[in-house]
């Protein structure tokens, strides 16, 4: 049987569900020990002195800005191509957003465009590593030093990635990671703040003093069960037998039914208050297990990506993100650019491969951020042309070769 392949999998096993369940019955002190252990091991892995577990990547960005006394009217330079929730959190802090366009070769902020955007009100640069590909950190660090700007490092999509042998998260004054369901380290939500500055770490801890107790058991248990079921039904066997036929019945080609299941919630001041909860010991148990396996799983995706890079490199109809020799791209997502994306997706779906264009868009064009509008043509292009190709474990060499063969067939049919 030739299995159907879904757009992405949550790597959440029954073993992790059982570990989570056992952790629910531990004492409060034991749960706190799990968090401390997770923070210490993550600090050793990343190479930072201070690591603080938080309840989400969004609240991590909020805390990072507040730790550096961000105030209304301050400007922050950000990549135009990002997820809207990042900009939402910045706006909630009262900052003015300065959008900078990206490079199409790596989907990261074009450092050569930063200086022209700096004013006397500019205080921060958000250094983002998109899709697991580290950005050109040296140029951004040089600009920040020259103009006295604070770098906040968004490594939400790049846990384990490296630039010149150094882990992402260590290049700014403070960095943050996200451990959401579709990240390569999944703790059913959650995140991590990392810094070498003791004063900044202390300020973050002070800011969290009035946060609510950890996420409630019923809420996390619900997430754990959902994650387990999604992991099961996105396995090639069950996806082929149950989910793929259902997508046909829902007229997949006309409406992205799966994508609509995971649309983000609107971020407002009320939502911000809901985010102010503590990371749970039960989540730390999951994090410890996944951290131990992180490099192996990243390596698997990198190997799959390498096969695709070699197989698709000579196709004129396909643009891929080229790998720089100084970069370790952990490929949270494998993204290509293609004209007529809908036709491409339909062609592959008819051959059993479910694709997505993801949630990253050109935020500089959004109506709700119109006060910060900036023309960013590369970000607009990538939003219209990006396609995510599945490379997650346990997909293997044979799967990658099948993808290459089908994509080549598509390219030939359009010539």
pLDDT at 274 over 90: no
Q: Give the Cα-Cα-Cα angle 185, 99, 318 (nearest 5 degrees).
A: 65
Confidence of residue 343 (pLDDT cuts 50, 70, 90): very high
User: Of 75-84, 234-243, 373-382, which range is least confident?
Assistant: 234-243
Q: Confirm if 166 and 138 have CB atoms less than 8 A apart.
A: no
pLDDT at 61 over 90: yes
Q: Confirm if 128 and 177 have CB atoms less than 8 A apart.
A: no
Residue 139 backbone phi and psi in degrees, to 5: -65, -45
Structure tokens at 110: 């074009």
Residues, the chain: 415
pLDDT of residue 11: 80
How far is residue 112's CA from residue 128's CA, in Å, rounded to a whole number? 15
Average pLDDT for residues 223-232, to the nearest whole number?
90
pLDDT at 135 over 80: yes
Q: Confirm if 127 and 158 have CB atoms less than 8 A apart.
A: no
**pLDDT tens digit string along 359-400?**
999 999 999 999 999 999 999 999 999 999 999 988 999 999
How far is residue 235's CA from residue 240's CA, in Å, rounded to a whole number? 8
**pLDDT tens digit string along 346-360?**
999 999 999 999 899
Whole-structure pTM value: 0.95
**pLDDT tens digit string along 327-341?**
999 999 999 999 999
Q: Confirm if 134 and 112 have CB atoms less than 8 A apart.
A: no
**pLDDT tens digit string along 101-128?**
999 999 999 999 999 999 999 999 999 9
**Which residues lie closer than 8 Å to 316 by C-beta, 6 or more apart?**
411
Give the N- to C-terminal CA distance of the chain in Å, as an integer. 31
pLDDT of residue 415: 87
Calculate what percentage of the chain has a pLDDT beyond 70: 95
Q: What is the DSSP string of 328-384?
A: E---SSEEEEESSHHHHHHHHHTTTB--B--S-EEGGG-GGGGGG----HHHHHHHH
pLDDT of residue 256: 56
β-bridge mates for residue 125, sequence order? 77, 151
**pLDDT tens digit string along 171-189?**
999 999 999 999 999 999 9
Q: Confirm if 233 and 239 have CB atoms less than 8 A apart.
A: yes
């Amino acid at each position: 049987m030739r299995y159907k392949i879904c757009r992405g999998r949550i790597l959440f096993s029954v073993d992790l569900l059982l570990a989570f369940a056992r952790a629910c019955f531990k004492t409060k002190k034991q749960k706190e020990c799990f968090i401390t252990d997770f923070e210490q091991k993550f600090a050793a892995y990343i190479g930072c002195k201070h690591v603080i577990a938080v309840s989400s990547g969004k609240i991590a960005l909020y805390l990072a800005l507040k730790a550096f006394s961000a105030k209304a009217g301050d400007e922050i330079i950000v990549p135009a191509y990002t997820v809207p929730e990042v900009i939402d959190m910045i706006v909630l802090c009262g900052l003015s957003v300065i959008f900078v366009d990206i490079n199409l070769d790596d989907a990261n902020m074009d450092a050569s465009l930063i200086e022209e955007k700096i004013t006397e009100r500019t205080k921060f640069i958000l250094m983002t590593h998109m899709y697991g590909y580290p950005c050109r950190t040296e140029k951004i660090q040089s600009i920040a030093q020259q103009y006295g700007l604070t770098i906040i490092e968004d490594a939400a999509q790049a846990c384990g990635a490296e630039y010149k042998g150094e882990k992402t998260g260590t290049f700014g004054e403070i960095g943050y990671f996200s451990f959401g369901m579709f990240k390569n380290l999944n703790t059913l939500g959650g995140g991590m703040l990392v810094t070498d500055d003791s004063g900044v770490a202390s300020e973050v801890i002070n800011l969290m003093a009035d946060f609510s107790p950890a996420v409630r058991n019923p809420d996390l248990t619900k997430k754990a069960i959902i994650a387990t079921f999604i992991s099961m039904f996105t396995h090639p066997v069950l996806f082929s037998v149950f989910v793929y036929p259902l997508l046909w019945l829902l007229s997949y080609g006309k409406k992205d039914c799966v994508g609509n299941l995971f649309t983000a919630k609107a971020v407002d001041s009320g939502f911000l208050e809901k985010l102010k909860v503590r990371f749970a010991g039960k989540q730390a148990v999951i994090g410890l297990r996944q951290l131990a396996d992180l490099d192996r799983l990243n390596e698997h995706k990198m190997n799959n990506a390498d096969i695709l890079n070699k197989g698709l490199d000579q196709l004129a109809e396909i643009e891929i993100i080229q790998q720089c020799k100084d970069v370790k791209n952990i490929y949270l997502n494998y993204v290509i650019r293609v004209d007529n994306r809908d036709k491409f997706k339909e062609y592959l779906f008819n051959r059993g491969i479910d694709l997505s264009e993801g949630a990253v868009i050109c935020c500089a064009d959004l109506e709700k951020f119109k006060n910060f509008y900036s023309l960013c043509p590369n970000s607009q292009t990538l939003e219209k042309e990006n396609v995510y190709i599945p490379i997650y474990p346990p997909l293997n060499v044979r799967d990658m070769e099948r993808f290459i063969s089908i994509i080549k067939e598509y390219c030939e049919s359009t010539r």
